[in-house]
Amino acid sequence: MNRRQREVLETLERLLHAIYCQDTDTYRELVADDVSSFEAETPARIDTVEFHLHYMRQQKTLRPPNVQYRLDIVNPRVQLYGNVAIATYTLVVTRSDEGGIRFQTTNETRVFVREDGRWMMVHFHKTPISQFSP
């Protein structure tokens, strides 16, 4: 991978960490106001960052104590087209809590645009492969 592709992967790692830690400040920094997304839990496209920020705030209040996550980005590919980057990968989330260890796997596509010297996510699409299971 070249330097710009590594920058995109570093931004992706920061973004995923922000999501699973409900770090709304970092998420807000890395996501465009008009972000669009397709997720398995919703029947239609979702637009704007506010939906996801609200969801993250709710998750933070509902999360049981002592939940820990490990995030593994498997088989990443970053395609660059000028100031646009498309990152595709499989995300494996390992969750541990009082109930034991569980896994969730999704195929994901995230689109980033480089503006003012930094990468911002403008679109993502997630397809679940498996949900948390004992």
What pLDDT, in 10s, does the model give residues 77-119?
999 999 999 999 999 999 887 778 888 999 999 999 999 999 9
Give 1-7 contacts, CB < 8 A, sequence gap 24+: 1/78, 4/80, 4/85, 5/78, 5/80, 5/85, 7/119
Q: How many residues belong to the chain? A: 134
pLDDT-derived band of residue 132, with 50, 70 and 90 as boundaries?
A: low
